[in-house]
Amino acid sequence: MQSISDELEFLKAVMKAVSSLFGDSCEVVLHDYAKGYESTIVAIENGAVTGRKIGDCGSNLGLEVLRGTAKDGDRYNYVTQTKDGKVLRSSSVYIKNGAGEPIGCFCINFDVSDLLAAKKTIDTLSKVQDEHSEYFASNVNELLDFMIQESINMIGKPVSHMTREEKYNAISYLDEKGAFLITKSGSKICRFFNMSKFTMYGYLDEIRSRKQNPVSN
């Protein structure tokens, strides 16, 4: 497979320019598929955003592009979440050879977790009335995704910034809204909030017990 090595120094300079402009919250990654997918990263700026380094592998999206199963190639301004709960806005541009085959990828991942928390504070201070939202989903997985996002909006922080009490309140919100009536929703909720099933069901037991036996003042 053709390599991107001929353009490596130029691409590194572009990476430095982008990361310097947007600061430590902006990770810029360069993948070279000639290295084998288990070790595609040949250059990275601000790798602490996703915890990756030179020599690490590509993502699942890159595999889909290489396999030819992705609906499209280049992706712009899409939202992802790291395993520790950071919310990222990302763009990925694939580098191709003369035959149109992907040989590398240039990726930008911007951590917007703090911005979302700040936005929530501003929205709360400027809110003039309560609103009720109704979401019309085509399947229960999509509906559960919406409800999880609503719980994040209610707390006002990305998962990576939540305290134990805030995660407890998010689970309480999801229980109140009926999220756990969806089959196998518990596993997805656990993954999203980075907690064990033991912890989540412990929260649920406490939440439901308090509702059944409210403390009188």
Q: Is residue 73 included in any domain, yes or no?
A: yes
Q: Is residue 217 included in any domain, yes or no?
A: no
Two tokens, residue 71: 């609906």
Segment (H or E) for 39 = none
pTM: 0.60
Residue where a domain terminates, one of 111, 141, 176:
111
SS3 category, 147: helix
The CATH number of the domain where 101 resides is what?
3.30.450.20
Digit-by-digit pLDDT tens for the chain (217 residues) are 567 777 889 999 999 999 999 999 999 999 988 877 788 899 999 999 999 999 988 877 777 666 665 555 788 988 888 888 889 999 999 888 888 888 889 999 999 999 988 888 887 777 655 555 667 777 888 899 989 999 998 999 899 999 999 999 999 999 999 999 998 899 999 999 999 999 999 999 999 988 887 654 4
- Residue 84 is classified by DSSP as T
Q: Is residue 99 included in any domain, yes or no?
A: yes
9 in Cβ contact with 38 (< 8 Å): no
Domain of residue 157 covers 115-212
Pairing type for strands 87-96 and 102-111 reads antiparallel
**Tally of structural domains, the chain:** 2
